[in-house]
Chains A and B, each alone.
Chain A
Amino acid sequence: MVDAVAVSNPPAAPRQLSRTLHQWGLLLGVIGAVLGFLLGYFLGGLGFDDTNSNGSNIQILLAYSLSAVGFLAGMGFFNRLIGSLVGQRPPTLADEAYLHGEGAGLSRYFRLTVDHKVIGMQYVVMILFFLFAGGLGAMLIRGELLSPQPSYVTAESYLTLVGLHSVIMIFMASAAIIGPLGNYFVPIMIGARNMAFPRLEALTFWLLPPAGLILLSSVFLGGFPTGWTGYAPLADQAVLGMDAYLVAFGLIGLSIMLSGLNMITTVITMRAPGLRFTKLPMFVWGVFITSWLGLLAAPVLASVILMEVFDRTFHATLFVPAGGGTPYLWENLFWFFGHPEVYIFIIPAFGLIMEMLPVFTRRPLWGYRVAVGGMLGVGVLSFFVWQHHLFVSGIAPALRPFYMFSTEAISVPTGIIFLVALGTLWRARTRFTVPMLFVGAFLFNFLIGGLTGVFLSDVPADFSLHASYFVQAHFHYTIMGGEVFALVGGLTYYLPKMTGRQLNARAGRRQFWVMFIAFNSTFLCLLAVGMLGMTRRVISYQPELQGLNIAASISAFVLGASMLFWLGMIVWSLILRPALATQKNPWESLGIEWQIPTPVPTYNFDTVPVTWSLPYEYDTGQPAAIPGRTQPALAGGTPT
């Protein structure tokens, strides 16, 4: 259904419905932290506190929680809620224009805005910051492992270092593709002018900076010894840094859930007229399926974190066997979230890869519906495999075969996705641009990651390889070799649309090959040391494994340098390279996102296209849709 377009010119003097980061966000964040600390002190005096760690958990938890609330309040997230509670008039069109950051220049990137493109760019910066923060942790870990005995880090600090690296990277990876590229491009790809819930979209972003800072602050409170999985009862006994993990992960979970809700609603209700599900771009499908995983899995994380907070703060014993609890409760609930979380990382990468593949092979995607089915299959099955993480820790033996087969079954839809990729590549006259190189690397790396995963899903193999570097290398092959390679390729592909600047192709090729070779030489070595019995999260190892570890560390340093070079290329392009022409479509893509001007107008389309075809008609050269040549229509509308 398409009604009239509500269009009017913005009146003057909008209300200040959001504040900038440096004006109020940080200030109220600090005030919130102080208030939380004092409230915790008061409650501690009333006996609401646990005594099994090195200080007052409730003070730290409340300080962290209220600092996040204060930060969001300072950014203006509660203005509208409070306004509506007291019956204030709703935002005018001028207020909305202000919230869209119109005419605000660069300052709009430092405040609450509801323009999905600004939020996408905010995500880019944040994701890169945490990618490199986590990467620094990786370099420190590899530096320490040059020697089989502790050198510059103590065993306890090493655990915190590994934990911080892993949680930062998980945090980064959960939003790495959906955050920057999903928020930026999904509304455009479906012919909408914005997301269904723009403020919610902004909230999903602004929840993450406090989460990241809280996480990093854990080092000042003794860190956390549990790694990213936060296993109880170790988490019950851990020092105050564990509270930072709990609050940060809670905020991340909330962000994942709300992002999922918003994306699903946007794709279902905001699609342009004529855009059926069967014509959605693959990237939109990837984001859509992932959003369901986030929506349904993240609340389980929130619940189990609440339980852990209850244990640490109120003398509860949900995870303490002596008090009637069990650590398996944490393991079950955490992995019910944790395994779909892995697919939250990778399914958008599948979508992105299949979005780029037809562009560079100049062929329609081979088996579009099959590929969508493959991604759906991976998404659904991801909820039925979590207990394979408990094979060694002691699930009922009768359950093992089911979880072994369900985990192995995931390789079927994943294989289908590979089949679609290979079918598209078959006899194609492929253009080996930099993004295409990353597509190829994704397929290569993820194949290794996937095959090693099949080994690990096998119960006997898992018994001997569990907690070894084999698992760690498998995981990195899927997430770094899969998602991060897709992210780098995707950003290289979409940067011209997002910024009007293109990366240097020659430098990009060199960076790609260094990154690809360094990545594989790092993690192939780690697969080998894992098979030879080196356990992860342990600072010392057998001296005979030092050679392979040195090779892995040197490769990792080269990998880190290649990533820094890539970052330098982006900065150099943004500052020094000339802007592309407004209508420039450097990859000759048929996707609708490339048919609109660069930079993309605030509301994306003056007229929304109503005639859509699959965006991969490279045999006919027919674009997915051409905006501006059809009748005026609304953003969104019930699809016909």
Chain B
Amino acid sequence: MTALPQSPAIHEPDPVVRSHSLILGSRLMLGANLTAQLSFLFAYLYLRANNNNGMWHPDGVGPPPIGLAVTVLVLQVAAFAIVWAASSALNRQPVASGFVRMLELGLIVGVACLAFRLFQITHLGWTPDQGTYVDVSILWFFFLAAEVFIGVLWLVKLLSGQVRRTVPVTVADLRSAAEYWAFVTVVSLGVFLLVQYVT
């Protein structure tokens, strides 16, 4: 195999193309995420319809405590709303730094959401051998917790680059993050309604 010739220069992609790629890639990832969520939805409804051996929802298994579930959902919606507002603020005034405060607040609320979600999972009072309603719900909650964790990491990455002035946040960066939080919030709302009321 012949060695590659030395390139005389480095060609860096256009920032505009990079932004387009980031936004498109992020949306495609949401599309992939959607099919994963639809798999869980299919499993939920399919197992519910089958109810093999009467073990979809055996006696003594109820929906998760409503107070905790609502708390998680409210925190999720709040985190999304704050990140979305930060994205809008940056979009309106790209040079202002007001969005950073909002992002910090969004991060705190996101972490709280994650903490409450984990608390909820460990305090459901269920064990996985109590039927398939329990199994799908626990697995789905784990999946959502992982999604929130990724969202939190994303915010940390944006914030640390911005605060340390190493990688300033761009409109495309924040828009992608906001869309991701919007997606996870919509899914969380759907899961909440399903698990609480379509038992």
Which residues of A are interface residues toward B (Cβ below 8 A)? 1-3, 5-10, 81, 84-90, 93, 96-97, 100-103, 105-106, 121, 193-194, 196-197, 257, 260-262, 264-266, 268-270, 295-300, 302-304, 306-307, 310, 314-318, 321-326, 328-329, 332-333, 336, 499-501, 574, 579, 598-599, 601-603, 634-638
Contacts and interface: CB of A to CB of B under 8 A. Distances in A.
B157 A325 contact: no
Contact of A93 (B6, B12, B36, B43): B12
Nearest to A633: B14
Contacts of A329: 43, 46-47
Given A197-B25, A299-B33, A324 B55 contact: yes
B160 A10 contact: no
B95 interface: no
Given A196-B21, A638-B16, A599 B52 contact: no
30 contacts: A7-B10, A7-B11, A9-B10, A85-B157, A87-B163, A96-B10, A194-B13, A257-B32, A261-B28, A261-B32, A265-B24, A269-B24, A295-B31, A300-B39, A310-B139, A315-B129, A317-B135, A318-B135, A323-B129, A323-B131, A324-B50, A324-B55, A324-B131, A325-B55, A326-B52, A499-B1, A598-B2, A601-B5, A635-B11, A636-B21
Contacts of B119: none
B135 A316 contact: yes
B92 interface: no
Given A193-B11, A317-B55, A601 B29 contact: no
Contact of A299 (B25, B39, B133, B156): B39
Contacts of A90: 161, 166-167
B17 interface: yes
B129 A316 contact: yes
Given A257-B32, A317-B132, A324-B47, A9 B9 contact: yes
B16 A3 contact: yes
A574 B1 CA distance: 6
B51 to A, nearest CB: 7
Interface residues of B, number: 63
Interface in B44-84: 46-47, 50-56, 58
Contacts of A268: 24
Most chain A beta-carbon contacts within 10 A, residue among B7, B39, B131: B39
Interface of B: 1-17, 20-21, 24-25, 28-29, 31-33, 35-36, 38-40, 42-43, 46-47, 50-56, 58, 127-129, 131-133, 135-136, 138-139, 143, 153, 156-157, 160-161, 163-164, 166-167
Nearest to A117: B4
A304 B51 CA distance: 19
Contacts, number: 223
A307 B139 contact: yes
Nearest to B24: A265
Contact of A323 (B1, B7, B53, B157): B53
A73 to B, nearest CB: 16
B17 A634 contact: yes
Contacts of A601: 4-5, 7
Contact of A306 (B5, B47, B50, B139): B139
A325 to B, nearest CB: 5
A84 B7 contact: no
Nearest to B159: A87
Contacts of A197: 21, 25
A484 B122 CA distance: 49
Given A90-B166, A601-B4, A325 B132 contact: yes
A399 to B, nearest CB: 14
A296 B31 contact: yes
B9 to A, nearest CB: 4
B52 A88 contact: no
B130 to A, nearest CB: 9
